[in-house]
Structure formats: C-alpha cells, structure tokens
Amino acid sequence: MKYRVLGRTGVRVTPLCLGAMMFGAWGTQDHDESIKIIHRALDAGINFVDTADVYSAGESEVIVGKALAGGRRDDIVLATKAYMPMGPGPNRGGLSRRWLIQECENSLRRLGTDYIDLYQVHRPDPSTDIDETLGALTDLVRAGKIRYFGSSTFPAHEVVEAQWVAERRARERFVTEQPPYSILVRGIEADLLPVAQKYGLGVLPWSPLAGGYLSGRYRRDGGPVTSTRAERVPQRFDPAIPENRRKVELAIELADVAAEAGLSLIELAIAFVLRHPAVTSAIIGPRTMEHLESQLPAADVTLDDAVLDRIDALVPPGTNINSADAGWVPPSLTNPALRRR
C-alpha cells in the first residue's frame, strides 16, 4: 500500500487503518481468530491499528497486544482511545488529568507495550477544561508514554478551541481527529474537514460503511429490512424510522452506481472517504476474515469525478441522512436545563 503523512507529524501510515472494535466480546470472541485477522491485515500492508479501552471492556486492547507481540510492534503505528466509562464510580471515565494518566497506564499494560503512538480522547468532555486535558496529554508525551495525541468526534469549534489553547498555554496539540464519515454521513464536510485542513490535522474517519448500511446487504430483490443493531441503537438502525428507511433506499441506489463502475459497494464507500483531500486513513472494522478481504481492495480504488458527481446527486455534500449518525450530541440539546434561564 502507499503511505500518507499523518497530519504534520512526519509519521507515515497506510490509507486503511485496521479498527479493532469487533475483536473481543463485542464481535469475534475467539482470540486466535481475531489475531489471524490482524496478522492478515498486517501482511496485506496495513501499518496502522486503532483500538480503544472501552472496546469489550479492554479485551480488544489485550487481543491487539497479543497480535503485535513477537517483533511486530515497532513496525506498527498503534492508536488507542480513552474517555468512555470503564467501570462504576464518577472518576473512571472522562478527560480529567486523574483519569487520563491512570487509564493510559492501564492501556499500556493491556497492550503489552511501553508506548502508544497515537492516544486519542474518545469524545468531548464538557465537564473538564480543555487545558487540563491538554496538560495531562502533554505530560504523557514528555514522559514518553505516548508519542502524539488526537481527538475523536469533536465538533469543529472545539477542535479550534483546543488548537488555540495549546498555542496560548504552550501545550502539545491534537494532531488528528477521528470523526464519523461516509457517503450517508457527510455533515463534517461543511465545517470539520475544512478546519482540519486549516490546522493540519490528520483525519481518520470511522464507520466508512455507515454502520453496515453500505456493506452491500441491501438489494432490490431482498426481503424485509431488518437489523441486529435495531434493539441496541434504534435511532440509527430501526427500519421503522423514516431516516433509516431512506438510508436503505440510498444504499440500494449506491449499489447500482458501484456496479456500473465495476466495483463492490464496499469498495465504492471506502474509496469515497479516501478521496477527500482532508482524509489520511479510513478505519475499517472487520469482524471476520471475509469482511477484511472484502475491504482491502478499496485501498487501490480511485473514484473518478463522474462517479463522485453521481454520489453527490444522491447525497448532497454536507448532509447527514440521519442526524443520529453524527456520533456526538451537544449537551445543550440533550439537557433542557441548559436551554432555559
């Protein structure tokens, strides 16, 4: 695979990043099978692996650590994340100095390594001053625990705030942002992606297959639309919701576009994300070896302008078909007390 520079770091990564969310209790529970999938990805040329502490309550990090043991670690750019609750109690999550330093040590132990290449904060934390978070992350860099740090699913204005605070307080700064991005979730094209380009952040989109909507499972001659995720995340997957029905309709139309271009829908979807000039590497999240094999060819696909124009006609730039797919909802929208004097 060809390499792309990760933001302004000088680190070179492949255009596909292996996401490890589905390794462990949330997906492939057989550790040996998960390790085989990871090794196949590395053998195919991928040099970038992304996980998080919360994935299967740390089990994903353990599996990734096993897979990278025995001499593979130094060739891999290893990323993980913190923020989500990791147990009961008010201080086992968030972006406080207390938690980030503690949880970084926990991730290092689970991963079986003495440094993390890219340590990412998984979501914004309105209860913690961004200067405290940047200060803790800067100290982790200076202690050699992490090499760089980034954000995930931050709105554009918080990305800008973090850059300005880092400059004013002489902190290390976020070098990457990991947002949701796919043909069906294009909202970040309006503001986040231009901001990332302005500040030189590497962009690492998650869910380029839109949570499976763009996996090719929906066909014109298919049966009733169902989803195993509808009970867990109904706002995004319940087919009774009009926006989700529209996603299915678009997936079927996009499959026609892909077929006419001589591609699978998976290849079309991932290649679309990789074509944006702000994007460094798309995170793929296979659960099985078959999933991985179906996604690897996308790294070599370049969509021409005619295909991109057809995609734009179906899903206008800057549009999220379902706003629930944005990945993060500001507290001011979920807590009425913040909107009422």
Q: List, by residue number, the catalytic residues.
A: 55
Residues 6+ apart with CB under 8 A from 305: none
Continuous H helices in the chain: 31-43, 59-68, 97-111, 130-142, 156-169, 192-199, 234-237, 242-260, 265-275, 289-295, 305-314, 331-334
- Separation of CA 143 from chain center: 26
Record the tokens describing residue 87, joined without a space: 């147990």
Contact 117, 80 (CB under 8 A): no
Contact 332, 298 (CB under 8 A): no
Question: How many C-beta atoms surround the C-beta of residue 307 within 10 A?
Answer: 19
Rg (CA), the chain: 19
Name the E strands within 111-231: 116-121, 146-152, 176-178, 202-203
Residue 56 Ramachandran class (φ > 0 left, ψ -120 to 50 alpha, else beta): left
Contact 15, 25 (CB under 8 A): no
Record the tokens describing residue 44, joined without a space: 């195919």
Q: State the Cα–Cα distance between residues 73 and 29, nearest whole angstrom.
A: 22
